[in-house]
Amino acid sequence: MTDDQLLRYSRHILLDEIGIEGQERLLAASVLVIGAGGLGSPAALYLASAGVGRIVLVDDDEVDLTNLQRQVMHTTARVGRPKAESGRDALLQINPGIEVTALNERATGERLEELVRAATVVLDCSDNFKTRHAVNRACFRSKVPLVSGAVIRFDGQISVYDPRSAVSPCYSCLFPEDQNFQDAACSTMGVFAPLVGIVGAMQAAEALKLVIGIGNSLAGRLLLLDGRSMEWTSIALSRNPDCPVCR
């Protein structure tokens, strides 16, 4: 670790649970972030500032004026630019010592599998069930832990699905693909801006813990946040023995 890195990450290094060894694990890690919008913005910003060595941003959308109410990685000057590229610029401004790959695409099939296999941890910051299920399947095939978050209106949720554990459920255990859940779009339902910051920051925290190997992750638990009352509810999750993904 260089003198600059020792200084930059000194507040992490002071923590007994992290220290130099933990920080070096972060610097050696690669985190895949699916979605560079409301959740992906705070999550990626904290991953970058914390010193994750390689961050891969995947998003096929462009920055729109309506995004700026909550997607803090982007600016007015970057309206019209691909979100992945705008996000890369923001992360490198915070920490030029890391590597950021911007993929202006919707990763599916073998391409998604390839990206997941190369990751230490995956963050699902997408906004639709189809993508969430595809990411979940890819993570369980490759045994890569998945940190999943979602926010709509005043409601947020977050959990970790860890295929390295024999008892950890997967996303499909909770939301089976054959249930035909309806996607709720921010453009029609609205979203309370600070909630994506709260949930996205928690996704980053869970990812950092998984990389370093500290604490207990949210695997086997679903946290629900009611932003109107600011009350958290914790629900215990169990693996579905009939789940087609993780059984």
Catalytic positions, please?
A: 186
Strand residue runs (E) in 104-145:
121-124
53: nearest Cα among 15, 77, 25, 84: 25
Quickly count: other Cβ atoms within 10 Å of residue 173's Cβ.
20
10: Cβ–Cβ under 8 A, 6 or more apart, which residues? none
Assess contact for 78 and 63: CB atoms under 8 A: yes
145: nearest Cα among 174, 119, 184: 119
